[in-house]
Chains A and B, each alone.
Chain A
Amino acid sequence: MVITVKNLVKRYDDLIALDHFNFEVKEGEIFGLLGPNGSGKTTAINCILSLLKYDKGTIEIYGKPMSPDAYDLKRNIGIIMQNVAVFEELNVYENIDYFCGMYITDKKLRRQLVEEAIDFVGLRDFRKFYPKKLSGGLLRRLNIACGIAHKPKLIILDEPTVAVDPQSRNNILEGIQRLNKEGATIVYTSHYMEEVEEICTRIAIMDKGRIIATGTNDELKGMINSGEKLTVEVLKLEHGILEGVRGLPNVVSAEFYDNLLIVKSTKGKNNLVALLDYLKTKNISVGKIYSEPPTLNDVFLEITGKELRDQL
């Protein structure tokens, strides 16, 4: 195991930020920590990194207890913090070199690593720019370069795409996958479920300081009753027909508004066919038809009773 966290408890006065928090990260995976704002993701990361005191629990990285003095462990960890942590007085190259120099003392090797990091995040044209001249997206990329230049085995990214334009977001997500392919284990926290779904090989969903579900994307979706969401465009739908739809096999819920019939069903075969057949027997003309698999939001909704999106 790369990271093992057991029964972690962290309190801020009366508020329990982490409530018997447990999780494990395996070598070579992209582990996603998904949860709404305030769910305790950053607190968990800061505890794991020994920045924050905690009340109870154990944290091990590569099988060794993590502490502020665990320099051997720290040497193998790359951190990209939620708040951009670069120096305004240093340009792009100097910022990366400064942070890289805390890990790599050999100047020649460091120069090479810094250049590679600059290329990796696509800041070659901006290497002499000072941070205040960079856009939000480029600044985030610089923040990432500062965290990965020393080629760490474990990279922890805490909400690296907050307030980032789509182009930079794609660049960042592709970069994370490349780092993983090159051998790094990734811990990725985010409240954007689409990002987590896209890049993470395993996901833990957090709420109120607790892990409420862990697994792969498919495993998480397999934990809930919702199978798919069917959206059918119809001009008019009487109440009796809507009740009939709700009575179809596997249907969990059916709603009609804005000329859209939205049906959520449990896992099962031919749900769409059964729905369309029923509408045909009632002489209902249909327009566009969509079928969507369940999302992590559905998982969050079913487990917690609230929308993940509502919490953002």
Chain B
Amino acid sequence: MKKSRLIAASVAMIATTGLLLSGCSAGAADTGEKQLTFMFRGGEDEKAAYTTAIKAFEEANDVKVKIISTTADDYSTKLKAAIAGKQIPDVFYIAQGDIQAYVNNGVVLDITEYVEGSDTLDLDNIWEYGVDSYRFDGSLVGEGAIYALPKDVGPFSFGYNKSMFEAAGIPLPDVDVPLTLEEFVDISKQLTKDLNGDGELDQWGTGLNVQWSLQSFAWSNGADFLNEDRTKVTVDTPEFAEALQWFADLSNVEGVTPSTAQAQTLDTYQRWMSGQIAFFPVGPWDVSTYAELDFDWDLIPYPAGKTGESATWVGSLGIAVGSTTEDPELSAKLVEYLSADVTAQQTLVDAGVQIPNLKDMADTWVADSTSKPANKQEFLDIVNGYGRALPANNTYNAEWYDELFTNIQPVLDGKQTAADYLKEAQPKMQAFLDDANAQAGIG
């Protein structure tokens, strides 16, 4: 009796350990059925949308999909742990900026042949930007074989408070011609005022976060972060300095933003939502929240610098196939369902968290005048035209890019000139970029 109890205890213990271990491993099929794992992050809307898409996929292909969902914050850490533990999910979300490193290290699979010859999806019906973001030819992102399809594309557009303009009797900005920087400052000044007469400002022209809005003004002023082949950091140009200085001056000289040293989004985001700010960025993910606001708002092109042409960035998240998958073709098919399934796309669009991935669906969506914003076309113009990738998304890692923002505060506070700061920052950024390119084996 006793002996058997001991044996039972040991067996139980070993079994527990075994369970723990197998619990970590993805894709251990417990039936004879084929099984794929899909790892993603997202909110309730994504979960709901993908449940239907995955069900359709399961029925059509006689497989089971095991869904691993994490919070947005945990995703990157958990995915990297899974990769380091050699348990790459069959299908998973991949950040735009990770494509180069993941391809170089053989984590994701080339799915070009599957998606190009696919009968479930028409590649020409998906935004070029979305697909091209996941192309990589060994040295440049944007060209070559396809390694993922977009989960979404996220054009970072610019909005204005229509009700505030009307109340102030200011003509509404043109939806086709971008404001010049001078016009933008001029309107902002007119709208920065003390409405209740208590001696303190309670309405402002704008309030932008340097990390998300600087790109737009730098680009439209003719500057860029990197040279063409992404080997040199080019933030030390006069155009770049001019754009950054102008950005800092919005607070320090023009005084059209809520108090100095207040570029924190939290404040201005909430002020925008309570109707105290005239101009504010709008992404597709904001639309459902902003639709509830009690003022009218719409999208306009980003104000443009010297080049006279708007510029802004487009984010994206991809869905890739893990290199260790047992069934590449089936995994690629799942990617297609998730990226382009009509029902799933419609669910996500209706939830107001993204714009359609499919061009034909986008056309009907734009034509719909019942939902906000009226100028939905602006989102599409960005994706199709003047939107670019965030600078760090095309490099091996983001260390060089983050460096720009690490020490930028004195410029925003008006304690250092933009030109001085950029001259200091460029060599440091260059060193990080060289390091990244060396690791990636290019440059």
To the question of whether A and B form a pair in one complex, the answer is: no
Q: Which residues of B contact A (CB under 8 A)?
A: none
Chain A residues within CB distance 8 Å of chain B: none
